[in-house]
Structure 1
C-alpha cells in the first residue's frame, strides 16, 4: 500500500435492514484527498446476494441510515461540506429525500418509534452567548469534567433528547418541515435514546446523580415521549450505554461496565457486557460474565431480534459476533476467528454485519441459518492494487511464561527485512484483525511489521487488562520485547535493523522502552502521554485517568514518565502530535521533543494544525497523507532499505480550496527540526 492509496479506502459503517430482511442499507465513507474532506453516501444491498450493491444517495456526507418499522421510510443524516448533519427522510417506494431539521449544531443518529410516525435523537444545544469559538465572556470553571475531545466545552452545548412528529401522508406538500420538540434539558449530556414498545416512553443514558462530576457512572433514565418528569431506571455503580426495551417492554437490555468501585472510576480492564434491568427500575443483571466479555462493535444500539440480542465481543485481536438468547440459553458465535465485526443489524430471518479483517476495511455479510454470504466488494479497488499483505499470527511466551499474542507481516520479496515494532494505543485499543494503513504502507515500502497485544490489551479477559495497572512499561514492555525477540529469530527479519513506533499509550510505551534500551535504530512517538503529572491537569480525562491507570505514588509515576526518563534516551526520535489534541495535549509531545533536542539527540517534531487525538484515523485526508509520507521519510533516513523510497512530504496546493470554509484553513503540518518553533 502506498500513501496515495489512501484515496482508495472505502469504509462501510453500521448497516440497517428492512423489517422483512430483504434489503440492507449502509453508509460507505472515503477520504477525498483532493478535496481534503470525507465523503460518504448510502448503498442499497440485497441480503440474498441477488444483485450487487448500488448507490442510493449521492452524498456528499450521508450517514446513519435507519429503516422505519413499517419499511416505508429511510431516515438518515445528511450534511453539506463543512456543515452539520441534519435529518433527512427518503420514501422507500421512490421519491426525493426531504430535509427535516436545521439544527445549529446538527443532530444525532435517528431512532424510529414503533408507530413509524415519530423519530427521536439526541443533539447538542448551544448555550446563548457561546455559539462561536472566538471572543466571548470568560469561562468560570467549577467542575472537573469541563472539556471533551472533539466537543470542546460540553456545558456550553449539552446533548438533549428531541422528538419529531412526522406529518400525515400527503399533508406536508408545500409545508415547512415539522418542528422537533426538546424533551430533556439541563447541563448533563443525554445520549443513546430508545423507544418503549408502546411508544409512550423514551429511555436514554445520562449522568444526573449528585457525584456525576467526580465519577464515570452513567445511568439509564426514562421520560414520557411527550415530555415530562424523568425517572432513574438504574441505580448502581455502572457505566451504562445502548439501552433497548425488550419486546414486552418489561425489561431493558443494555451494555454496561457493571462495577466501577466505590468512587465510580475503576474502569481499568473492566469489560462492558450485556445486562438486563427491569424497565420499572432495579439492579443490573449481567447476562454475560464481565470478567471475560468486553463489547467491541460500533453499533449505536443493542440489537434485539427473534428473541435474541446481537453484539460484538472483543476476542484475541478481533471482534466476534454473538447471538445471545434472551431466555437465558447459551450464546452462539455467528462470526469468530480473524475478523472484526464493526456494525450489526437484523431483519426477519437475517442478520447483516459489517466485517473487517487485516486486508479489508469492511464488507457486508448476511447470516441466515446455516449460511454466511458475502454481499459487497467495497474494497475491490484497493485489493486490486496487489499491495495488501497478510499477517502471520503467533503466540509466544513472555519471560514469566505468560502467552503473548501477536502478528508479523512481511514484504513479498526476499529478506532479511528491516523491522518496525508497532505498538497500539488506547490503552484499550487492540492490534489485529482490521486493516491497518500504517502496517500495509510500511510493509509495501520494504519493512517487516511486528505487532502484538501485551498485557493491558482488551479481548483477553479482565486479569490481562488490569495486569499493568500502576506499572506501565513493565509487564507490557517485557511482553512486546519477548514477542519481538521471537519474531527476530525468523531469518526473513533483520535483527540488526529494528525501529519502534507507537501512538497514544503505544507512544508512551515506546518512549518508556527508549529510556531502557538503545537497541532501536529510530523511533516514532505519536500523540503520547509523556508526563503523568502535567497530564492530570491538562487532558480532558486527566482528572481520573492518571490515578486509575498509573497510580498516585510519586516514585511510581516517575517510573512511568517518559519525560522523567528522557535523559537516558539516545535513539533518534520523531515526535508527532495534533495541535488541538485534548486527550494527550500537545505539550506532552513538545516537551519530549525539547528534552531530546537540548541534549543533542537527533529529533524532529511534526505538528498538525487543527488535528485532535485521532489524527491517524480520522484526521483531514491531506494531513493523513502527509503524515504517512513523513513516516516513510523518517524510516528511510534511519532504517534504510534499498527498496524504500525516501519520500518527502507532498507539496500541498496553495490558494483557495472549495472544501475548506473561508477562514477555517488549518494549514499544513509543521515539521520542526530545531529548537526554534517560529
Structure 2
C-alpha cells in the first residue's frame, strides 16, 4: 500500500550529494543529508558505497560533515566538519582535525602531502561599528562580513602546519592544483571597482612564495572582464579548463580553454547552445572533469541538467544518461569510470556510476529506504505556443485518476534564469500534496528560463513581467478552455523571481483566487540598493534607470490586487531583503486585501533548500493549506 508524500516526510527523507570516486574507481564517498527533528537542523554524514555492489555504509557520525575528498593514493579521505578540515583513514578509524575555521573547497595536492582550502582570513567583531567602503560587505547566508575576506590556505597533512597563501581585498573561489603541485589557480574579482561588476578573473599563485608571514602575489591569466571558474589543469600544465564567458553580462556559460601564457580563452562548446552548469544550490550541475582526452560536464537542456561529453571538439549529450538529471561529478581516469547523482521522475536523487561504455548503474536506494511506502506522482510534459509564436515548455503534475475541472496551481520558478526540471522535486513537496488532493500543478519554463538556448535565456532581460506575462496567462487560459481545470479556482505561487511574478500577476490580472508568494520582490528600486546582488539585478537584469525600476515593480500596480495573499520570507534574506515582503504586506493590508506575512527567523534566501527542517516543512504545508482554503472559499 503506497501513499503520497507529505511535507512532514522531509524530516525522514535522506538524500545523497557530492559523490567522489576513489582513484581506483571502486569506491564512492558521498554526503548523505537528512534532518534531526529534535535538534531542528539539517544533518550531513559521509557515506561510502562500492561500485561492485553491496549496501552503503556510513563513514562519519556527523552531524555536520561535508565535502569528502580522496587522497591521490586512495588511502585517506579529507572532509569538512562544522567548517573545520579533517582527515579520515578510508578503511576505518577516527578522524583527525587538521585545520580551518569556516573552511570550504578542500583539494588535495597531486602528491598527497598538502590540502588547499578556502577560509576567512581574520575575524569580524560583530559588536563593533561596521565601516563600509564597498558593496560586498554582506552575503546571503553569511550576513554582514565586514572587512573579512575568503582566502587561500594550504595545510601540510603530516605536520598540520597551515600557510595562508593569498591576502588582499578580494575573495578566493574554486582553487585547483597544477599537475606537479607548484601552483594553485583560483577565481577572484580583484580591483578597486570589482564590487560594481559581476566580472571576475582567473589567477595563479606560486605556492612556494607563501610562508614565514609572506603571502603569494596572484598573477592574472587571461581577461578580468568576463566570468571564469577554473575546473582543472590540462595535463601538461599549459592551460586551464574553465567554465565562463568572455563578457560579464547576462548569458549562458561555456566550457573554455584558457592558456597560461595569457590571451583570449578558446571556447570549446561554441556549437552547443546550452548553459554549462558547474553547480550551485538550486542550480544542479557538476564541475567539468577530464576523462582521458575527453571532458565530462553538465549542461541544462529543457530545464534539466544533463551529462555531456566533449570529444574531439564536439559536445554531445550522453544518450545512456538522457533519462536523468545529474548533479555532482567525479572521474577516476585509470578506470574510465565516473560517478554522479541521478534524479528521474520517481527518484529525487541516488548515487550512480557511469562506466567506460557510458552504461549507468544506480548504486543506492536511500529514498526507498527512508520513505518505503511513498510513491510520487510523475509530471507530464507539454509545449504551449504563445500568441506571438514563442514555444513555452510546461510540466503538468496531476493524479491521473483525478477528474477534470479541479483547481489549478500555477508555480513560477526563481532566477529568472532557473528552470523547472521534469524529474522529482524534493524542494516543492506541496506539488505532490496538492496533486493528491485533486489539484493540477502547472510549472512553466517561460522566457528567461534556462535550457532553451541563449536567446531564450536573455529574452526577459530588461522586461521582467512585461516580456513573460503572457507566457503564464495564455497556458492557464488554454487549460481552462480545455476543461482540464476550473477557471474560477486558479492559484499562483512562486519563490524569489517566482515571488516577484506572483505579486506582479496578482496585481495585473484577476485570474487568481489565491496567492502564495515566497522570497518576494515587490519594489525593484529599493531592491537594487539593499540586495547583496542589487547592483547586478538593477544594472544588468533591468537597466534603464530609476523610472524603469519603478515601472517594472509590482508595488506600482498593487491597487489591482484582490486575491487573498500569503507572503513567506526568511528574515535574514540578503538577496531579497525582508523589507520587500514587509512593503508588500503593508500595501495589501492598507488596501484591505486579506493577507498574512510569515517570517522565518534566521533564515536566508535559500532556506527552502537548506534551512531549518521545521521551516522547510512549514513553508510547504502553508502553501498547500493557503491555496486550498482560498480556492475552496473564495472571497465575497
Q: Does residue 593 of structure 2 align to residue 606 of structure 1?
A: no
- What is the CA distance between 1:412 and its match in structure 2? 4.8
Counterpart contact for 2:245–2:253, Cα < 8 Å: yes
- What is the CA distance between 1:145 and its match in structure 2? 2.8
- Counterparts in 2 of 1:405-416, with a 5 A limit? 405-415=393-403, 416=405
Segment drifting more, 217-226 vs 148-157: 148-157
CA-to-aligned-CA distance 1:579-612 (integer Å, 9 cap, x gap): 1111111111111111111111111111111111
- Does the residue aligned with 1:485 lie in a helix, a strand or coil? helix
Aligned length: 611
Give distance in 2, aligned partners of 1:535 and 1:335.
Answer: 44
CA-to-aligned-CA distance 1:189-228 (integer Å, 9 cap, x gap): 0111111101111111111134312211111111112223
Partner of 2:140: 149
Segment drifting more, 277-286 vs 89-98: 89-98
Q: Does residue 18 of structure 2 align to residue 29 of structure 1?
A: no
Query: Please, what TM-score do these two structures have when normalized by structure 1?
Result: 0.86
Residue number among 51, 63, 66 corresponding to 2:66 in the alignment: 63
CA-to-aligned-CA distance 1:38-75 (integer Å, 9 cap, x gap): 11112211123x21222222222221111111111111
Counterpart contact for 1:29–1:38, Cα < 8 Å: yes
Q: Does residue 204 of structure 2 align to residue 211 of structure 1?
A: no
CA-to-aligned-CA distance 1:533-557 (integer Å, 9 cap, x gap): 1111111111231222122254433
Label 1:530 to 1:359 Cα distance change in 2 as closer, same or farther (>3 A): farther
- What is the CA distance between 1:491 and its match in structure 2? 4.0
Q: Does residue 222 of structure 2 align to residue 242 of structure 1?
A: no
Counterpart contact for 2:202–2:222, Cα < 8 Å: yes
- Counterparts in 2 of 1:30-429, with a 5 A limit? 30-48=34-52, 50-79=53-82, 85-101=83-99, 103-104=100-101, 106-127=102-123, 130-131=124-125, 133=126, 135-136=127-128, 138-167=129-158, 178-226=160-208, 227=210, 228-260=216-248, 266-267=249-250, 270-289=251-270, 292-298=273-279, 301-325=287-311, 327-333=312-318, 337-347=322-332, 348-368=335-355, 369-381=357-369, 384-415=372-403, 416-429=405-418
Partner of 2:213: none
- Does the residue aligned with 2:138 lie in a helix, a strand or coil? coil
Counterpart contact for 1:408–1:487, Cα < 8 Å: no
- What is the CA distance between 1:625 and its match in structure 2? 1.6
- What is the CA distance between 1:414 and its match in structure 2? 2.8
Label 1:313 to 1:588 Cα distance change in 2 as closer, same or farther (>3 A): same
Give distance in 2, aligned partners of 1:336 and 1:607.
Answer: 41
Counterpart contact for 1:242–1:302, Cα < 8 Å: no
Give distance in 1, aligned partners of 2:272 and 2:558.
Answer: 37
- What is the CA distance between 1:329 and its match in structure 2? 4.5
Give distance in 2, aligned partners of 1:32 and 1:151.
Answer: 22
Give distance in 2, aligned partners of 1:419 and 1:330.
Answer: 39
Give distance in 1, aligned partners of 2:58 and 2:93.
Answer: 15
Long gaps (5+) in structure 2: 211-215, 280-284
Counterpart contact for 1:338–1:433, Cα < 8 Å: no
- Counterparts in 2 of 1:480-499, with a 5 A limit? 480-499=472-491
Counterpart contact for 1:45–1:53, Cα < 8 Å: yes
Give distance in 2, aligned partners of 1:191 and 1:297.
Answer: 13
- Does the residue aligned with 2:139 lie in a helix, a strand or coil? coil
Long gaps (5+) in structure 1: 80-84, 168-176, 261-265, 642-678
Label 1:487 to 1:384 Cα distance change in 2 as closer, same or farther (>3 A): farther
Give distance in 2, aligned partners of 1:3 and 1:213.
Answer: 39
Counterpart contact for 2:269–2:314, Cα < 8 Å: no
- Does the residue aligned with 1:15 lie in a helix, a strand or coil? strand
Give distance in 2, aligned partners of 1:68 and 1:579.
Answer: 41
Give distance in 2, aligned partners of 1:290 and 1:212.
Answer: 31
Q: Does residue 436 of structure 2 align to residue 444 of structure 1?
A: yes
Counterpart contact for 1:271–1:290, Cα < 8 Å: no
Residue number among 530, 545, 550 corresponding to 2:522 in the alignment: 530
Label 1:242 to 1:355 Cα distance change in 2 as closer, same or farther (>3 A): farther
Counterpart contact for 1:258–1:290, Cα < 8 Å: no
Label 1:504 to 1:38 Cα distance change in 2 as closer, same or farther (>3 A): same
CA-to-aligned-CA distance 1:290-324 (integer Å, 9 cap, x gap): 87121224267432221222111011010111111
Q: Does residue 578 of structure 2 align to residue 574 of structure 1?
A: no
Query: Please, what TM-score do these two structures have when normalized by structure 2?
Result: 0.92
